[in-house]
Amino acid sequence: MKRGMFSGLILVVTVGSGALAQDSIPPSERGVRIGITYAPGTRPGMLMLGGELEGGLDSARTILGRDLEYSDQFEMITLPTGDSLTLRVGTTAENGVTEAFVNYPLYAALGAAYAVNLYAGPDSGVVITLYDVRGEQQRTEIQVPRLDPTERDFRMRIHRAADEVVRIATGVPGIAATQILFINAGRIYRIDFDGHSVEALSPPGGEAMSPVWAPDARTVVYMEFRDDGRGPLHLLNLETGERRVVAPTANSQSQNFAPAFSPDGRTLAFSRANEEGTDIYTYNLADDCCLQRLTVGGFSDNLSPTYSPDGQRIAYESDRPGLSQIYVMSSDGTGQELFAPFDYGVSGSSHHPEWSPDGLSVAFDRYVARTAQIFLMDVGSRVVRQLTSATRNSDATWAPDGRHLAFVSTRTGSYQVWVIDMETGRVRQLTRLGEARLPAWSPRIPERNNS
């Protein structure tokens, strides 16, 4: 590839808003940066190159650009609206040989460390090319086959390509090919990581709660409350649509809820409530048997289990000290102890722990001045810090990169799901549907068996 040259060109470029200073954050997004410091300009610049795509595939570029922006790994560089210059990879011919023409000096002058280009490939596909501007070389070329904007998997194919671009550029896979479950009006919905493709998963007329993803991201488990007082757990196969009850309730008044998969997917931990209180049980999904009780509450409530990434421990909430607080135990129920420190008379109750993918942190809700806020605890030191402060914020769930959290907030007046980048403090609204509660972030979505 040949190095292009430029001269006499003056441009005003806009850098993406991922590194906004505190005073620049809109009022509805303030209050989530407690404990986060960030030096603007430390992320590499990413330039999306122009050029037309045929057959309506220009939407592929829109999706890819948004995915890279929402990864929070880059400063996205755009030209001012209406500027006459179009940046694209061209071709040059010399001695009868045609080669790609990549104007690395121009892209470097615009502040780009990377540039990504899309063009229509064979068989109605798209080719995505990532260029290392500083190294003046092509880093990767991704072939995305059979793209049809009306195809069910169209968006997910682009999401997976975006994740590969992020991986090549940073060494860490992206999270565009993920989805978030949430509850709205008694039904379970899923939504893409970028806030698009909202889809209902549970039937209407029910009262669904507590959705959770299996580690393979092909099935989900949730509780559905019934008029007869029972609350069974349903396992839903997302590829076939098949539903079945797991861990059947022997007592008609018992309810099973707040499920959590073990990292290997073989075991399901959950809370079971009856007239004696609420305790944590496990069920062997692999063999469809073997209910085991881990806590004996003695009329106290033990709720919301979450496995450590190695599967050796379970964090959960318990009100045995009076107010609910975060406890921890071995996965077999032994060694139960207080996990997250709190101050009597100062800290409020604590709920909904969620272990981070790297095992280093636990996110949970804690009431401050009678309002729920998100807190983080460093597992090694057990130091607790407050993450949010404005309005009500609760129900945190980790993205598989361990860098992003989704949570529920009332900062726009109703309960909606928001996403925060833990490194920059940037927040964005994910849902805009009724009132959204109890989000659950998926692992990376695998290719469909029939794709």
| pLDDT at residue 95, rounded to an integer | 56
| pLDDT at residue 19, rounded to an integer | 33
Structure tokens at 28: 């509805």
pLDDT-derived band at 96, boundaries 50, 70, 90: low
Note whether residue 451 is domain-resident.
Answer: no
pLDDT over 50 (residue 18): no
Residue with tokens 């095992």: 359
| pLDDT at residue 131, rounded to an integer | 95
Structure tokens at 92: 């040059």
Q: What is the mean pLDDT of residues 264-288?
A: 92
Identify whether residues 114 and 248 lie together within a single domain: no
| pLDDT at residue 234, rounded to an integer | 93
Last residue of a domain, one of 147, 170, 193: 170
Three-state SS letters, the chain: CEECCCCCCCCCCEECHHHCCHHHCCHHHCCCCCCCCCCCCCCCEEEECCCCCCCCCHHHHHHHHHHHHHCCCCEEEECCCCCCCCCCCEEEEECCEEEEEECHHHHHHCCCCEEEEEEECHHHCEEEEEEECCCCEEEEEEEECCCCCCCCCHHHHHHHHHHHHHHHHHCCCCCCCCEEEEEECCEEEEEECCCCCCEECCCCCCCEEEEEECCCCCEEEEEECCCCCCECEEEEECCCCCEEEECCCCCCCCEEEEEEECCCCCEEEEEEEECCEEEEEEEECCCCEEEEECCCCCCCEEEEEEECCCCCEEEEEECCCCCCEEEEEECCCCCCEECCCCCCCCCCCEEEEEECCCCCEEEEEEEECCEEEEEEEECCCCCEEECCCCCCEEEEEECCCCCEEEEEECCCCCCEEEEEECCCCCEEECCCCCCCEEEEECCCCCCCCCC
pLDDT over 50 (residue 451): no
| pLDDT at residue 6, rounded to an integer | 35
pLDDT over 50 (residue 35): no
Identify whether residues 85 and 223 lie together within a single domain: no
Note whether residue 267 is domain-resident.
Answer: yes
Range of the domain at 46: 2-170
Note whether residue 326 is domain-resident.
Answer: yes
| pLDDT at residue 102, rounded to an integer | 85
Structure tokens at 67: 């995915």
Residue 447 one-letter amino acid? E
Q: What is the mean pLDDT of residues 181-200?
A: 96
Note whether residue 286 is domain-resident.
Answer: yes
Here the CATH number for the domain that contains residue 255 is 2.120.10.30
Identify whether residues 111 and 212 lie together within a single domain: no
Q: What is the pLDDT of residues 100-127, one digit of tens each?
A: 678 899 899 989 999 999 888 777 788 9
Last residue of a domain, one of 170, 191, 207: 170
Identify whether residues 305 and 235 lie together within a single domain: yes
Note whether residue 259 is domain-resident.
Answer: yes
| pLDDT at residue 227, rounded to an integer | 72
Identify whether residues 367 and 266 lie together within a single domain: yes
**Measured between alpha carbons, how far is 208 from 190 in angstroms, rounded to an integer?**
13
**Measured between alpha carbons, how far is 61 from 84 in angstroms, rounded to an integer?**
19
CA nearest to 223, candidates 394, 440, 418: 440
Identify whether residues 230 and 371 lie together within a single domain: yes
Structure tokens at 406: 């989704």
Note whether residue 263 is domain-resident.
Answer: yes
Residue 375 one-letter amino acid? F
What is the rounded average pLDDT for all residues in the chain?
84
pLDDT over 50 (residue 23): no
Residue with tokens 């009329």: 299
**Measured between alpha carbons, how far is 233 from 243 in angstroms, rounded to an integer?**
10
pLDDT over 90 (residue 371): yes
Q: Count structural domains, the chain.
A: 2
Q: Look at strands 45-48 and 75-78 and give their pairing.
A: parallel
**Measured between alpha carbons, how far is 351 from 282 in angstroms, rounded to an integer?**
20
Note whether residue 116 is domain-resident.
Answer: yes
pLDDT over 60 (residue 248): yes
Kindly give the interhelix angle for 58-70 and 154-170, rounded to the nearest 10 degrees.
50
Residue predicted with more confidence, 60 or 267: 267
Note whether residue 447 is domain-resident.
Answer: no
Residue predicted with more confidence, 225 or 140: 140
Q: What is the pLDDT of residues 288-346, one digit of tens each?
A: 899 999 999 777 899 999 999 999 999 999 998 889 999 999 999 999 999 998 877 66
Asked if 207 contacts 225 with a C-beta cutoff of 8 angstroms, the reply is yes
pLDDT over 90 (residue 31): no
Residue with tokens 């090549």: 168
Q: What is the mean pLDDT of residues 174-179?
A: 97
pLDDT-derived band at 28, boundaries 50, 70, 90: very low
Asked if 375 contacts 383 with a C-beta cutoff of 8 angstroms, the reply is no
Residue with tokens 């909202």: 198
pLDDT cut 90: percent of the chain above it: 62
Residue with tokens 């509660």: 437
| pLDDT at residue 346, rounded to an integer | 67
Identify whether residues 415 and 435 lie together within a single domain: yes
pLDDT over 50 (residue 27): no
